[in-house]
Structure 1
Amino acid sequence: MRSSLHRRFTAPIAIAAIAGLTLAGCSGGPGTTTADAGAEGDGTVSVYGTISETEAELLEQSWADWETENGIDIQYEASKEFEAQISIRAQGGSAPDLAIFPQPGLMADLATRNYLKPAPQAVEDNVDEFWSADWKAYGTVDDTFYGAPLMASVKGFIWYSPAKFAEWGVDVPETWDELLEVTATIQAATGTAPWCAGFGSGEASGWPGTDWVEDLVLREAGADVYDQWVNNEIPFTDPAIASALDAVGEILLNPDYVNASLGDVTSINSTAFGDVATPVANGTCAMTHQASFFDGFITDAGGEVGPDGDVWAFLTPSNDSDGQAVTGGGEIVAAFSDDADTQAVQAYLSSDDWANSRVALGGVISANTGLDPANAQSPILQEAITILQDENTTFRFDGSDLMPGAVGSGTFWKGMTDWINGTPTDEVLTGIEAGWPSS
């Protein structure tokens, strides 16, 4: 099982809106802390997150040398129930020293309730040096900086076969209209559906569909509208959001275009998102939409990823070819304790040293500008790092991860599966919007 960048284990709980903006929420109770400010610590720091199995082992390996050098034992615990349990632990006085939040909104909720400690100056200095202002904002709540970014993913990649594109006489499209033209050309040449998709992910089914919509909102309507939408300053029923969903439907609701080798349109819901890797790798599916982490799934399915490999990827294009706007995911590391050991670990995890250590072990990337892209072991991950480090890239965090959980991991996920099953766009959007908390 892959990390929180790759799969989501989100309980449908209400979380606050986009970090860094004024948040509506409950009054803050006394925060839990395991140590007083300035305390030396006891030589151990507990860290709690969603990163599990092989990737948890790599995470622990990434800081092993630092632990020895600094005499601090980092004790990591993974949980599929993180999103629900972190709030319970905080309220019960048993919070970890540090938590790795896959959703900035969840971190913001706990910050507004005074459970989290502001980040020490060393962490803020690292973020000011190595991250963009957008990334810093995701760890900032009501003008107080709490958490530094950790790892990242670039969403919106379209995975395809370079050899097949050459065979069909099509080029990588530079605009959305060109993507539709490429789709039609492949369908005519092969007589089969060019696209495959899977929304299946257990209790989290539907999230791959939200990624599609987020890409189209950012690319069609722009970053300002995207920000307003994520914060519910414009509703899901706004024409800009409806237009984005309808644009996605030009592909995903067209029975001539999906679901290559897997079934009809409705089979998208019953297909596990990772299972799409096999038809892409073996060439029976021409294109699929998924984040940078899909590289690992393609490799597991026997495909070689690279510009000259079996499978390569390009970013979902905008309506025009100017600029580069991308959505993505990541994690924020925030503290419930402010003892010296906890602050030292939090500072290390925000450093370029840690980013290079972890990325060199494989499978993940970071938006840390001190990261050497050559440390990434996959060409698509190297490409993703370059995109994240490009000062001309407009980056926006995954919208559903910024929305309250009742929407982002509730009505939005459900709405996408309903939409695939035939529920009309206006009805779907009205139902998703109804999930927003009233206060």
Structure 2
Amino acid sequence: MMRRRTTLASCTALVAALALGTTACGGGPVTAAGDGDKLLSGQTVTVAGVWSGTEQKNFQKVLDAFTEKTGAKTQFVSTGDNVSTVVGSKIEGGNAFDVVMVPQVGVLQQFAEQGWLKPLSKPTQQSVDANYASVWKDYGSVDGTLYGLYFKAAHKSTVWYSPDALDQAGVEPPKTYDEMLEAGQTVSDSGLAAFSVAGQDGWTLTDWFENIYLSQAGPEKYDQLAAHEIKWTDPTVVKALTTLGELFKDKELIAGGQKEALNTDFPGSVEKVFGPEPEAGMVYEGDFVAGVAKDQFGKKIGEDANFFFFPAVDGGEAPVVSGGDAAVVLKDGKNQKAAMAFLEYLASPEAAAVWAEAGGFLSPNKKLDVASYGDDVTRATAKSLVSAGDSVRFDMSDQAPAAFGGTKGTGEWKLLQDFLRDPSDPKATAAELEDAAAKAYQD
């Protein structure tokens, strides 16, 4: 699985670095080639990822900027959510993509273990070392070898609210989890439910759990649970489920109660707060809530829709849970040179700035000027993500085998939906989670 690059591959990486103006050998920036020197002209990079709609259009701007810089053409294929199935089929058919944008740590590890990936070039590794907190390198590595470059990230520790709803209730954005529940009760007393919960989508419930667990149990326990080094029956898990259950069982805090929450998907949960007929004052989810509020409901971010960071639980540190998409190079792709050059470009602040200016994007690249983002709210979430450094923790369910952490109707998604339906026995839920996790990690 650990593959050595040949001297020729190293030279190719150096040529690509010269074309892109990156740091090639650990010194200062290499002088970029002139506009007429399109060293990758005539080559095409095929890139696959889950993105569609607005995200795909904005990523196309990054692809177009790479073409302008290098002369290489690009072709993007949207895989939908079944990335591993699509990629596996293409490899088996002898028509592998050159680059894949992988949305889950567990899938990246799976690809590496199956021998599908090439280690990233030396210039890309140098950029990661210089421009990223080490936690992002860890999440992109398998057995000490760097395969994945995290280009796009999400800040999944944000609670979005209607300023009008909080003003009407006379409450300020809370600083602690207990204060958040108290503020929610005051909002509920004023006529709106406190929270809209997207229980139809099990992944949103895993995010609720992960933020509580990270703050309450701490990062060391979080890492152990993510790797299944401790069992889901651990007292810290039962405690976090108990804390989450206090919210789930309070019908005054959740719009429509548990039954309606289980019939509400993620876009619907945002609509209940920012749509034409609001039913709740707040909705928890990542920074991408802003895109739905803005694009679908015409809200001006920072005025009609705002956020506070997920508050600290039981005296712990405020959590910073993230997700993201890592670019990897498939070893069976037909265009290794252009693929490696593309990742060297993605590792640069220049590439991140293209999408940052377009909106709907966060970068873990600490060299990206936050002025590149188009509004103060996005700048605030970007600053929080980068300043968290190595305390950032990747979405736990995305680190797990898909059978446990990423499959509709089974594993953690289903069991937390069952817990939302009946949160009366956290110990029993923890035992069920452990049974499912043990099977998935063993398989």
Work out whether the TM-score is over 0.5.
yes
2:326 to 332, 346, 351: 332
User: Given that residues 324 and 392 in structure 1 are in contact (C-alpha distance below 8 angstroms), is that contact kept between their aligned partners in structure 2?
Assistant: no
Which amino acid is 2:311 matched to?
Answer: P
Q: What are the superposed Cα offsets for residues 309-359 of structure 1, whole Å, 9 maximum, x if unpaired? A: 122111111136675431011111111147321111111011111001111
2:270 paired residue number: 277
1:115 paired residue number: 116
- Structure 1 pair 53–162 and aligned structure 2 pair: CA distance change class (3 A): closer
Shift of 1:391: 4.7
Alignment of 1:421-432 (within 5 A): 421-422=421-422, 424-432=425-433
Q: What are the superposed Cα offsets for residues 46-91 of structure 1, whole Å, 9 maximum, x if unpaired? A: 1111111232122112231331331211211111132322233335
Give the secondary structure class of the aligned counterpart of 1:51: coil
1:437 aligns with 2:431: no
1:242 to 238, 244, 256: 238
2:25 paired residue number: none
Shift of 1:37: 4.3
Supply the RMSD in Å over aligned alpha carbons. Answer: 2.4
Shift of 1:404: 0.7
Which amino acid is 2:90 matched to?
Answer: R
Shift of 1:107: 0.9
Most deviating of 172-181 and 285-294? 172-181
Q: Distance in 2 between matches of 1:161 and 1:152?
A: 24
Give the secondary structure class of the aligned counterpart of 2:364: coil
User: Given that residues 304 and 311 in structure 1 are in contact (C-alpha distance below 8 angstroms), is that contact kept between their aligned partners in structure 2?
Assistant: yes
Alignment of 1:170-319 (within 5 A): 170-190=171-191, 192-200=192-200, 205-259=201-255, 263-281=256-274, 282=276, 283-299=278-294, 300-306=296-302, 309-319=303-313
- Structure 1 pair 393–257 and aligned structure 2 pair: CA distance change class (3 A): farther
Give the secondary structure class of the aligned counterpart of 1:412: helix
Shift of 1:92: 4.6
Shift of 1:271: 0.9
Q: What are the superposed Cα offsets for residues 14-55 of structure 1, whole Å, 9 maximum, x if unpaired? A: xxxxxxxxxxxxxx6x99x9xx94697861111111111232
Give the secondary structure class of the aligned counterpart of 1:158: strand
Greater helix content: 2
1:10 paired residue number: none
1:345 to 342, 346, 351: 342
1:48 paired residue number: 48
Give the secondary structure class of the aligned counterpart of 2:195: coil
- Structure 1 pair 38–131 and aligned structure 2 pair: CA distance change class (3 A): closer
Which amino acid is 1:438 matched to?
Answer: Q
User: Given that residues 295 and 305 in structure 1 are in contact (C-alpha distance below 8 angstroms), is that contact kept between their aligned partners in structure 2?
Assistant: yes
Shift of 1:123: 0.7
Q: Distance in 2 between matches of 1:57 and 1:287?
A: 29
Q: Distance in 2 between matches of 1:319 and 1:391?
A: 17
- Structure 1 pair 194–391 and aligned structure 2 pair: CA distance change class (3 A): closer
User: Given that residues 174 and 321 in structure 1 are in contact (C-alpha distance below 8 angstroms), is that contact kept between their aligned partners in structure 2?
Assistant: no
Q: What are the superposed Cα offsets for residues 271-317 of structure 1, whole Å, 9 maximum, x if unpaired? A: 121112223125531111011000011112232220xx122111111
1:138 paired residue number: 139
Unaligned runs of 5+ in 2: 13-39
Q: How much identity, in percent, do the aligned residues show?
A: 28
Give the secondary structure class of the aligned counterpart of 1:277: helix
TM-score normalised over the length of structure 1: 0.85
User: Given that residues 277 and 301 in structure 1 are in contact (C-alpha distance below 8 angstroms), is that contact kept between their aligned partners in structure 2?
Assistant: no
Q: What are the superposed Cα offsets for residues 352-408 of structure 1, whole Å, 9 maximum, x if unpaired? A: 110011111111111111222222223322111110121567211111000111110
Give the secondary structure class of the aligned counterpart of 1:271: coil
Unaligned runs of 5+ in 1: 1-27
Most deviating of 282-291 and 325-334? 282-291
